[in-house]
Structure 1
Amino acid sequence: MKLLHIDSSILGERSVSRTLSKAAVQKLQDFHPMMDVTYRDLATDPVPHLTAAHLAAGPDVLGDIALGETILNEFLSADVIVIGVAFYNLTIPSQLKAWIDRIVIAGKTFRYTENGAEGLAGNKRVILAVARGGIYRQGASLAASEHAEAYLRSLFAFIGVTCLDVVVAEGLAISDAHRECGRATAFQPISALDPFHAAG
């Protein structure tokens, strides 16, 4: 089994999303000790954003194109993808969006048909570990402003992923008590993750 572990927070060791994603990976490794893990830290080693030069495939961006192929192949070869999702300004970090732009590729992870778009990555399990400073859950006053979890759910559904687990810690910036409660609440579903559940 191959696992791809992605982190996106710029907060380093203080990051709750990193703590949660690490715990999720460890939970799976406890049951699959021979699991092959690939790790990418998008904050310390950011993926360049796409440019017109990239799309033109000029000789000056051959290294960037090769990086994009590596990132896509990492995703395609993984059975499980665990993503630590930071929540900045109501959505995902630009570093994570840059990575997404390298994996959502027509003919590779989706294709257009006469009946609409068809996802091609339905054989994967994705676990999102989301950390939010405020409270954005359904029914909260800020729920309509949540554009990270909602976007990623739509994005992975678009490329065919139906096996999606979402773990959320929120209220982290309200107070120390809220932060500890948010962390504790998020660790409960991680401890309950089914390590043998795989995509169909």
Structure 2
Amino acid sequence: MNILQIDSSILGDHSTTRQLTAAIAARLQAAAPGAQVTYRDLAAAPLPQFTAAPGAMDAAALSLALEQVLAADVIVIGAPLYNFSVPSQLKSWLDALAVPGKTFQYGASGPEGLLGAKRVIVASARGGIYTPGTPMASLDHQENYLKSFFGFLGVNQLEIVRAEGLKVSDEVRAQALASAFEQIAQLQAA
């Protein structure tokens, strides 16, 4: 099994999503001895923003991002909620993945995703509480965006490991982290 671990938090060692992605990758490796992990830190080495300016796009970096995804069986993504969405570094990486003929195609019936065999596990961290049924639910443009994006690419096995309410109180934070790590402990290799 090839695991691609993506971190995008700017908080370094203080990042909850980095803790979660590391635990997820370790759990998957324990469940599938011999699994290989490719690690990419989008905060430390961000992809360029898309632009029309000649020469501004680093074709090699964009190509490598796509190649890593295509080679992966499982993609583990650290996605903190920043201002109701994903970090700009993660958005740039996602933009590099939407490549006609590689990750999706258009046909007579409309778009068709080509990444159906991939498993995506999103490590989501949020200071507030945004789950459906809460007053802040309509402001979730993080998990909903990632579900929509990977759904467009044909991914039908997307899981969310969520720690939310991290800034509500110490008690809520402790409960959220315990719940997320318990969910990670239950992850299977396939």
Which TM-score band (shorter chain)? Answer: over 0.9
| C-alpha distance in structure 1 between counterparts of 2:56 and 2:43, whole Å | 21
Moved more, 176-185 or 148-157: 176-185
Query: How many residues are aligned here?
Result: 190
| Cα separation, 2, equivalents of 1:47 and 1:174 | 33
Pairwise CA distance, 1:114: 1.5
Alpha-carbon separation, structure 2, partners of 1:30 and 1:36: 11
1:186 Cα offset (Å): 1.0
User: Is contact 2:29–2:36 with CA below 8 Å preserved after alignment?
Assistant: no
Task: Report the Cα distance in structure 2 between the residues aligned to 1:26 and 1:102, rounded to whole angstroms.
Answer: 26
What is the aligned partner in structure 1 of residue 2 from structure 2? Answer: 2
The AA in structure 1 aligned to 2:7 is D
Runs of 4+ aligned residues of structure 1 deviating over 2 Å after TM superposition are none
Measured against aligned partners, the alpha-carbon deviations of 1:3-32 in whole angstroms (never above 9, x if no partner) come to 100001111111111111111100001122
Give the residue type in structure 2 aligned to 1:162.
N
Per-residue deviation, residues 146-196 of structure 1 (Å, max 9, x unmatched): 01000000100100000111110000011222211111111121111112x
**Counterparts of 2:43 and 2:80 in 1: how far apart (Å)?**
11
Find the counterpart in structure 1 of residue 70 from structure 2. 76
Does 2:111 correspond to 1:126? no
CA distance in 2, matches of 1:28, 1:124: 14
Q: Give the match's secondary structure for 2:168.
A: coil
Q: CA deviation at 1:33?
A: 2.8
Where does residue 47 of structure 1 map in the other structure?
Answer: 47
Where does residue 80 of structure 2 map in the other structure?
A: 86
Q: Distance in 2 between matches of 1:178 and 1:108?
A: 42
TM-score by length of 1: 0.92
Aligned-partner Cα distance in 1 for 2:133–2:87? 24
SS in 2 for 1:161: coil
